[in-house]
Structure 1
Amino acid sequence: MRAALPPPDGDIVDAYERHLRSERGLSPHTVRAYVGDAVSLLGYVRGLDVLGTGEQERHELDLPGLRAWLAGQRSAGTGRTTLARRSAAARTFTAWAYRRGHIATDPGARLVAPRPHRKLPSVLRRDQADDLMRAAESGATERNPVAMRDRAVVELLYATGIRVSELCGLDVDDVDTDRRVLRVVGKGDKERTVPFGAPAQRAVLDWLAEGRPELVNDKSPPALLLGVRGGRLQPGSVRRIVHQALMAVPGAPDLSPHGLRHTAATHLLEGGADLRSVQELLGHATLATTQLYTHVTVERLRSVHDQAHPRS
């Protein structure tokens, strides 16, 4: 679709992509999403069939055009959360285009986005998290390097609450096993320090001493976690590790690595941590994102109340 845009629009998209990557320092995944939404919007207003409906009516890049683009997606079955994200992406694009003089006004400034439905994330109970860690530890007792790595993966995800991309991006030098802290580079290339506990420390030390040397080779990067061929461990592999580990925990939900991040945040708040501290640990840009986990803890309390209180 990008190649089908007329040359002026194609040049604008190229400049926008450079802005997102170089000036704003967004991750490659975020850049792809923002650029994809900009291409879809421009294609729609230029009369390209970006929605697959066969309609090719042209629109202006104005407020009615933005609304028509979103309405077409809604008619095609796009969910509210996705529509809200694309609305935000459209506002980002039109604001940039207005500042750079590509459009005379900023129609996105008046665009009202649909409110997304915020589903409460699934998380492990504390006893399930304990069972998961024990299962990961027992799998590494035979000193198999892959099992030792998998134990370190599960321990670090739960101990720190870092994102899977942040975990895979760790180098050996980013880990201070004596002080039990990680140097993590998060979204927007923002660096933060995240502590971890003694169980994760033991798992990482075992992996570094006995597991990693078995997988490293002459072409290996300085990555903390390696794949079986010696390359940097990839997020897809981490997802498989987490899924397989959870299969050993009866009754546990089938979570992704992000589910362990949700679990870590929830257990921190349940243990008495304040929101600001959890926000810093997780690398959230705003406190509003972290506040989602307060709803999780409230729902748990309500569930306990309903089961235990005689007048629930």
Structure 2
Amino acid sequence: MPNHTQVNAIYCLNYQLIDACNQTARRVSLRTLLDRYVDVLWEPGSHKYNVSSFVGELDEILFGAEFSDFTDELLDRLVAALRKRGNSNATINRKMAALSKLLRKAHKMGDIRSLPEFKRLKEKAGRIRFLEPDEEKRLFAAMHEKSDIYGRFCIFLIDTGARLGEGIGLRWQDIHGERVTFWLTKSGKSRSVPLTERAAAAIHASERTKRGPFTGIVQAKFRAAWNEAKQEVGLGAEPDIVPHILRHTCASRLVQGGIDIRRVQTWLGHQTLQMTMRYAHLASGDLDICVPILERAARAKAK
């Protein structure tokens, strides 16, 4: 018969085997974690859609690999792969922010044992691209040829500054006269904006057979049509010309037209003024009124 020491050794070995099996059983993939927690961490809307796309892309880069520890090495692999795909540091930061939130929740719930160290990458303060009037005309005409509702949706987005998800999520009950209220926003806070004549026309040309004027639009199909249209009008080589440029164009036109930054912040629904300050350089023409004042002061001093 085995002695006491041998019995203890056998028990320890059995516990180690059981623990190893349990650890193996707890291995998960990013897709599994996303399915498990996406509805808990993110409210319905364009941000939730983007997060799902981000995490889905990261899971695809890892070939659906399962893990119990998300290591720094795994994180480095993701960052390197995203850079090879042409992602800017700003885009990588957004994707890593979504990943970090998901992994922190998984770690808190005991799905994974350890987390990597997330470091924010330095972002370039580059010029924000927006559409010139002739570019808008050509691009919108190409979109209208593909689908009447796509053409009208572009008009609505550029004149309201709405995100794709906000526009698609608009319901008929959210339209009051010549004003719309967006409820499914990135920040979770609703906002209302008035409509231009053409934006109002774009809405009311839709049939009321659906829940909202643009609820029949599928984001993936709209983006595919957009990419085809920009190729057709000679803008295919510009990576910044994505549907979100319509929001940038709206903001740029407001600032160039003399609207103060605080009002533009409210219009766009930015949570911080810093986000809106990206457009501040477009208002530099307002400084021209300062010159006569300085010149008068100089002449008065010279007398």
Aligned to 1:120: 127
Which residues of 2 match residues 57-96 of structure 1 at below 5 A?
61-62=70-71, 64-65=72-73, 68-70=76-78, 72-73=80-81, 79-81=87-89, 82-96=91-105
**Contact 1:132/1:248 (<8 A) preserved:** no
Deviation track 1:16-53 (CA, whole Å, cap 9, x = no partner) reads 5432322432513313423653686797795xxxxxxx
Please say which structure displays the higher CA radius of gyration. 2
Give, in angstroms, the shift of residue 268 of structure 1: 0.9
**Contact 1:80/1:114 (<8 A) preserved:** no
TM-score calculated relative to the size of structure 2:
0.61
Deviation track 1:181-236 (CA, whole Å, cap 9, x = no partner) reads 3434223654322221233234434x15xxx3xxx7xxx4323137xxxxx13333
Distance 1:169 1:97, change over 3 A: closer
Larger mean CA deviation between 237-246 and 14-23 belongs to 237-246
Unaligned segments of structure 2, at least 5 residues: 1-22, 287-303
* Structure 2 CA distance for aligned equivalents of residues 40 and 6 of structure 1: 22
Aligned to 1:100: 109
Aligned to 1:282: 268
Aligned to 1:55: none
Code of the residue aligned with 2:27 in structure 1: it is D
Code of the residue aligned with 2:199 in structure 1: it is A
Give the count of matched residue pairs: 253
Aligned to 2:137: 132
Give, in angstroms, the shift of residue 157 of structure 1: 1.6
TM-score calculated relative to the size of structure 1:
0.60
Aligned to 2:36: 18
Which residues of 2 match residues 205-224 of structure 1 at below 5 A?
205=204, 207-208=205-206, 212=207, 220-224=209-213
**Contact 1:70/1:83 (<8 A) preserved:** no
Give, in angstroms, the shift of residue 86 of structure 1: 4.2
Aligned to 1:37: 58
Q: Percent identity?
A: 22
Aligned to 1:234: 218
Aligned to 2:165: 165
Give, in angstroms, the shift of residue 271 of structure 1: 2.0
Give, in angstroms, the shift of residue 162 of structure 1: 0.6
